[in-house]
Each structure stands twice: as structure tokens, then as C-alpha cells.
């Protein structure tokens, strides 16, 4: 099994300078690629000069996360793609548990390692933590992270466990599976396209797992801060996209109506917090979703009526019942 570690870059010269050395040092048996999304900060020149063993793929435009990877991965032949954010520090032997997990079960198509916070290495990080789940209404959360509450890593998730989605910050996916799924949906541009990809994989019967024996440290927000209104827009809209694409039609409309109500409550909360740009982002997200509705409906592929959710409403559990941690919300 040959692994390609593929780092998507856009004007991230400083991040490459800081984090690429750990990837090279601790990935001796993998081939490393930097995919550049039409940067203007001399990122490519930097990599060519200082790390000549790293292979470079230059995209003609900045098509975001989804198109950036779709275009680049067509040119990579390794058996497994590791999609790795440019702001991640990897650790010694981080690839070994991933390889072992793939080899033990051929049904596994996607794997995520443990994602810890680079700025506080005792805590889980927002993007992925110890594996992703969604509630009945399609809101995502993680083991180790529910909304803005991050757990301390005390070994509670040092396991191998089947999950619903793996973070795009550090995702291992078999090439044959990525190609069979048609890659990422480029209408997402960025954020939650990995949830859609994993949901489509689930609908086809593929397994997605987390392995805590492999760990990496993620800065988070280096490309787009978690509280940036653009990220609010993309997260709210793209979540609606995923519901529409991946559930049986009889479930889609009731869920969209429920989401319209709950997203409205989220908007009111932003209003009282005087975060007017975030309120506007939610409104724009819904209008954008309605604009794309027919196109998204036409993208529906193989649908399996699976139990996709781990709880009824993570919003109610977190904000009303004051349950802050994964194990208070999901009984394993």
C-alpha cells in the first residue's frame, strides 16, 4: 500500500515553512505532494528551492478545497490519498496505525487520525477531534468537540471506532473509493464537503473509521477563522446541501423545514450577540441553497436508508440541556 500525502496550498508559504518539515521527517515511506491553488506568495518557489523531493502540482485557478483536490488527485497514482491541511504538524510513526487499520479490514475506505490542538496539545481540535457524527437534523459534531467545547485528551478516545465522517483536515481515503464517488462536490467550494463525501460513501456501504493511535496537531482557522462570517455561510448552506443529496426524499423536506426554524433561532442568537454579519450569512446561506436546489436534487446518487444520526438534536442537548461533552449526548 503506497500513500500519497497531499497538501493543498493557497498563499500559505509561512505555513509550509513551519509544518512541511515534520511531514517530510515523519513520512519516509510516503510520497509528498504540494498542490498549489494559484498562489501569489511564491509558495511554489519556496518548496522547489528548499524541498526538491516534494512533488508540486499547480492548479490554474483557486477553486477552493473541493475543486483544488479534485483537479490534483487526477494526477496522483498512489493507492491511498492523505488529504492534509497545510497547518498540521504530524508526529513520529503517524502513518503506521493508518496502514495497519487499512490492512486489517478491506471494507474500510476512509480513516481519520486523532486531531489535537497545535496551540494546546492536551486538547482536541475543532476540525475533526476524535471523529465526526451528525444529529437527526444534519448538524455535525465530534467526539471530543461539541460546538465550541473542546475536551482534554486523557486517552478516552485512544481506540479504533467506526465514525460517520472524517475531517478534511487530515483524511485518508483509498484512491479507488475517491474516484468511485466522483470526488468532492465542487459546489461546496469549502467546508463540509468531506461530510458529503463520507455520507455518499456510507450510502454505498463503505466503512469510515477513526484510529486514536495516530495523532496530528492542527492550528485550525489558518485559512479561514472559525468565526469568520464566510465560514458561517458555507457551513449552514453546505449542511443543507448534504441533507438534500444524501437522504431519502421523504425525509428531506421535513428536515429542511426544521432547519429553517432552527437556523432562524441561530440567527436571532447572533442578533442578540450583535454579530450582524453572521446573521446575514445565515440568511444568504438559505437563499443560496434555494437557488441551487434543483441542481442539488439532480446530483442525488445511490441513497441508502441508513441510520445516519447519533442523537436527535445536538442543538437542544448543548444549548438547552447544557450537555457539553460527546459522552453526555451519545451513549456508547
Q: List, for residues 66-104, the tens digit of each pLDDT value.
A: 999 999 999 999 999 999 999 999 999 999 999 999 999
Q: Using the 8-state DSSP alphabet, how is residue 273 labeled?
A: T
Backbone torsions φ then ψ of 30, nearest 5 degrees: -105, 155
Helical residues (DSSP H) of the chain, grouped into ranges: 13-25, 43-50, 64-73, 96-104, 175-180, 193-203, 229-246, 249-272, 276-297, 314-315, 326-329
pLDDT band for position 224 (cuts 50, 70, 90): low
Q: DSSP string of 103-145?
A: HH-TTEEEEEEEEEESSSTTBB-TTTTT-EEE-TT--EEETTE
> Rg (Cα) of the chain, in Å, rounded?
19
Length of the chain: 332
| CATH class of the region 1-86 | alpha beta
Q: pTM for this structure?
A: 0.95
Average of per-residue pLDDT across 213-223? 85
Closest CA to 39 of 18, 17, 66, 8: 8
Closest CA to 199 of 145, 236, 157, 239: 239
Residue 226 has pLDDT above 70, yes or no: no
pLDDT digits (tens, 9 = 90+) for 156-181: 999 999 999 999 999 999 999 999 99
Residue 227: the pLDDT is 73
Residue 79: the pLDDT is 98
Q: Using the 8-state DSSP alphabet, how is residue 91 labeled?
A: -
Residues linked to residue 211 through DSSP beta bridges, in sequence order: 113, 160
Q: Using the 8-state DSSP alphabet, how is residue 318 labeled?
A: I
CB-CB contact of 3 with 80 (8 Å): yes
pLDDT band for position 221 (cuts 50, 70, 90): low
pLDDT digits (tens, 9 = 90+) for 101-159: 999 999 999 999 999 999 999 999 999 999 999 999 999 999 999 999 999 999 999 99
Cell numbers at 76, concatenated: 496522483
CA distance 128 to 120: 15
Average of per-residue pLDDT across 289-312? 95
Residue 89: the pLDDT is 98
pLDDT digits (tens, 9 = 90+) for 8-41: 999 999 999 999 999 999 999 999 999 999 999 9
Average of per-residue pLDDT across 253-280? 95
What residue spans define the domains of the chain? 1-86, 88-332
pLDDT band for position 220 (cuts 50, 70, 90): confident
Residues linked to residue 83 through DSSP beta bridges, in sequence order: 6, 171
CB-CB contact of 90 with 26 (8 Å): yes
Residue 273 has pLDDT above 80, yes or no: yes
Residue 223 has pLDDT above 80, yes or no: no
Cβ neighbourhood burial of 183 (10 Å; 0-12, 13-18, 19+): middle
Average of per-residue pLDDT across 228-240? 95
Amino acid at each position: 500500500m503506497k500513500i500519497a500525502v497531499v497538501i493543498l496550498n493557497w498563499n500559505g508559504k509561512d505555513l509550509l515553512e513551519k509544518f512541511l518539515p515534520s511531514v517530510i521527517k515523519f513520512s519516509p515511506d510516503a510520497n509528498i505532494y504540494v498542490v498549489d491553488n494559484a498562489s501569489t506568495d511564491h509558495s511554489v518557489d519556496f518548496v522547489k528551492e528548499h524541498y526538491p523531493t516534494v512533488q508540486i502540482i499547480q492548479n490554474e485557478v483557486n477553486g477552493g478545497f473541493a475543486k483544488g483536490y479534485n483537479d490534483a488527485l487526477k494526477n496522483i497514482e498512489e493507492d491511498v490519498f492523505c488529504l492534509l491541511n497545510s497547518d498540521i504538524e504530524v508526529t513520529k510513526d503517524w502513518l503506521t496505525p493508518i496502514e495497519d487499520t487499512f490492512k486489517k479490514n478491506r471494507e474500510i475506505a476512509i480513516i481519520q487520525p486523532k486531531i489535537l490542538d497545535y496551540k494546546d496539545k492536551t486538547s482536541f481540535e475543532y476540525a475533526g477531534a476524535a471523529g465526526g457524527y451528525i444529529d437527526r437534523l444534519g448538524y455535525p459534531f465530534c467526539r471530543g468537540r461539541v460546538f465550541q467545547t473542546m475536551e482534554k485528551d486523557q486517552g478516552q478516545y485512544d481506540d479504533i471506532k467506526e465514525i460517520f465522517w472524517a475531517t478534511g483536515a487530515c483524511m485518508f481515503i483509498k484512491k479507488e473509493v475517491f474516484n468511485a464517488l466522483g470526488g468532492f462536490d465542487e459546489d461546496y467550494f469549502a467546508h463540509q464537503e468531506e461530510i458529503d463525501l463520507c455520507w455518499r460513501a456510507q450510502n454505498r456501504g463503505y466503512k469510515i473509521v477513526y484510529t486514536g493511535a495516530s495523532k496530528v496537531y492542527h492550528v485550525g482557522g489558518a485559512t479561514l477563522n472559525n468565526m469568520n462570517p464566510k465560514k458561517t455561510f458555507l457551513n449552514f448552506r453546505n449542511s443543507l446541501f448534504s441533507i438534500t443529496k444524501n437522504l431519502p426524499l421523504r425525509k428531506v423536506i421535513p428536515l429542511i423545514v426544521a432547519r429553517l426554524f432552527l437556523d432562524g433561532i441561530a440567527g436571532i442568537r447572533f442578533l442578540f450577540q450583535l454579530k450582524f454579519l453572521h446573521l446575514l450569512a445565515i440568511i444568504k446561506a438559505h437563499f443560496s441553497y434555494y437557488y441551487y436546489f434543483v441542481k442539488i436534487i439532480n446530483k442525488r446518487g445511490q441513497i441508502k436508508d441508513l441510520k445516519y444520526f447519533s442523537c436527535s438534536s445536538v442543538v437542544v442537548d448543548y444549548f438547552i440541556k447544557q450537555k457539553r461533552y460527546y459522552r453526555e449526548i451519545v451513549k456508547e
